Amino acid sequence: MKHHQHRINAVEVDNACGMLIVAWDDGMRKSFHPLWLRDNCHCSNCRHPNGQKLIDVSDLPAGVRVAAATRDGGGDGVRLCFAPDGHAARFDAAWLRDFAADAAPSKKLWDAEALSMDMVAREYAAVAGGSEALGEWLALILRYGFAVLRGAPTEPAKPATVCAVVEWFGYVRETNYGKLFEVKAVAEPNNLAFTDLGLAVHTDNPYRDPPPALQLLHCLKNTATGGDSMVVDGFKAAQILQRENAAHYDALARHAVPFQFRDRTSDRGADLQNRLPVLEVATDATRKLHAVNFNNRALGAIDIALDAQAEYYAAYRHFAEILRRDDRTVRFKMRAGDLFIVDNRRVLHGRAGFTSGDRHLQGCYADADALLSTWRILNTRSP
Ligand code: OGA
Ligand code: ZN
Ligand code: ZN
């Protein structure tokens, strides 16, 4: 992963402001603020061996400047002396160049044509058995927001297979549905998922704060007629919406709407409510799409101003219509031993209705941070 082996050619201090200017052997030049350098000093006074900072930001000397800078180790680093207190520091060439790099796989958006099940499906036994195969499977989730295991056990297990798969990389997120939930048609369903009805593509549980970032479903039995599964890349659909009608995209990003789930059948009961925009974009200047929240079953009464409602409904219906298009939708049948995981902030899932026969899935949720952490551990060679 580490591809920045560039050496430092020259270092220079701008005496007017105490900035450090570094030039690398490929012509790249970067300037560094003295406060920033001092804040990021890696010496044993400034950092514990575990990497955590020992100094407080308010302890940085006022008016700190770089007093002197020299190349070190033939260009693989730079030595600094700070004024006014003479503090000494050394920085690696690679670290200065690449301090913020996160090598996580970038998202590849897809539609029905671009994604085949074979691209994202791996054998359960291989991924269970090897850290390299696990690293690759996690990379599929990060890249496509959707990955599959085939050949998982089909006997109910304790702990359930679907929870054991989460433990490979992270932690099960428990909810009012339990650590594990059984997806099958029952007599008094508190959720339409537990019927034989079709479920239009949706993201799960936008009524939680935050919604679950990952969802897994594992098929133990499926002899039903129908019940085929569907997944849609919500980020791709949002991109299409923006191209077809930028005002519609903006409307879905600008207005938060209420999502809710109510259940009085269990002892504790549940009355979960959250407000989120259907298209959740970063609040910083990038306005980058962060998550799609789409679940018409769980959408409450839209409470935006009357004069904005016509436009809002036009936008919401337009997005829903894009999500239903055949060219967006990857369809597949879950067979006993199949398991899929979705990035629930990006990829929508659904199922067709079913009749006759038995259909039994087990599901659970997990957070995304542990998945990324495990991917980094598996994919970063130690120096
Ligand atoms: C769910 C769900 C899909 C299915 O349980 O969240 O969407 O295939 N189920 O039953
Ligand atoms: Zn220091
Ligand atoms: Zn669902």
Q: How far is residue 126's CA from residue 210's CA, in Å, rounded to a whole number?
A: 32
Residues 29-36: what's their mean pLDDT? Answer: 96
**What is the structure's pLDDT at 383?**
44
Q: How far is the CA of 344 from the centre of ligand 3 (A)?
A: 9
pLDDT band at 2 (very low <50, low <70, confident <90, very high): very low
Q: How far is residue 253's CA from residue 97's CA, in Å, rounded to a whole number?
A: 35
178-206 pLDDT per residue, tens: 999 999 999 999 999 999 999 999 999 99
With a CB cutoff of 8 Å and minimum separation 6, the contacts of 59 are none
CATH number for the region 8-99 comes to 3.30.2020.30
Q: What is the residue extent of each domain of the chain?
A: 8-99, 117-377
Question: Is the pLDDT assigned to residue 138 strictly greater than 60?
Answer: yes
pLDDT band at 4 (very low <50, low <70, confident <90, very high): low
Find the Cα–Cα–Cα–Cα dihedral 315, 317, 322, 326, rounded to 10°: -170
Question: Is the pLDDT assigned to residue 133 strictly greater than 70?
Answer: yes
CATH number for the region 117-377 comes to 3.60.130.10
Lowest-pLDDT range of 33-37, 41-45, 82-86, 97-101: 97-101
Question: For residue 287, what are its two tokens?
Answer: 């306005």
Helix axes 246-254, 306-324, angle to 10 degrees: 110
Q: Are 286 and 294 in contact (CB under 8 A)?
A: no
Q: How far is the CA of 32 from the centre of ligand 2 (A)?
A: 16
Tell me, yes or no, if the two domains 8-99 and 117-377 fold the same way: no
Lowest-pLDDT range of 77-81, 129-133, 241-245, 321-325: 129-133
Ligand 1 first shell, C-beta below 6 A:
183, 193, 199, 204, 229, 349, 351, 361, 363
What residue type is 367 in one-letter code? Answer: D
271-326 pLDDT per residue, tens: 999 999 999 999 999 999 999 999 999 999 999 999 999 999 999 999 999 999 99
Nearest atom of ligand 1 to the alpha carbon of 361: 10
Question: Is the pLDDT assigned to residue 3 strictly greater than 60?
Answer: no
* pLDDT-above-90 percentage for the chain: 92
Q: How far is the CA of 10 from the centre of ligand 2 (A)?
A: 22
**What is the structure's pLDDT at 182?**
96
Q: Which of 89-98, 183-192, 341-350 has the highest mean pLDDT?
A: 341-350
> Higher confidence at residue 102 or residue 173?
173
Nearest CA to ligand 1 atom 5: 193
**What is the structure's pLDDT at 1?**
40
Question: For residue 273, what are its two tokens?
Answer: 């409510």
- The mean pLDDT value of the chain amounts to 95
Question: Is the pLDDT assigned to residue 149 strictly greater than 60?
Answer: yes
Nearest atom of ligand 1 to the alpha carbon of 199: 7
What residue type is 335 in one-letter code? Answer: R
* pLDDT-above-70 percentage for the chain: 98
Q: How far is residue 371's CA from residue 375's CA, in Å, rounded to a whole number?
A: 6
Q: Are strands 359-366 and 172-173 parallel, antiparallel or unpaired?
A: antiparallel
Q: Are 367 and 172 in contact (CB under 8 A)?
A: no
What residue type is 89 in one-letter code? Answer: A
Question: Is the pLDDT assigned to residue 222 strictly greater than 50?
Answer: yes
8-22 pLDDT per residue, tens: 999 999 988 889 999
Q: What angle do CA 383, 1, 129 make, to 5 degrees?
A: 85
Q: How far is the CA of 200 from the centre of ligand 3 (A)?
A: 9
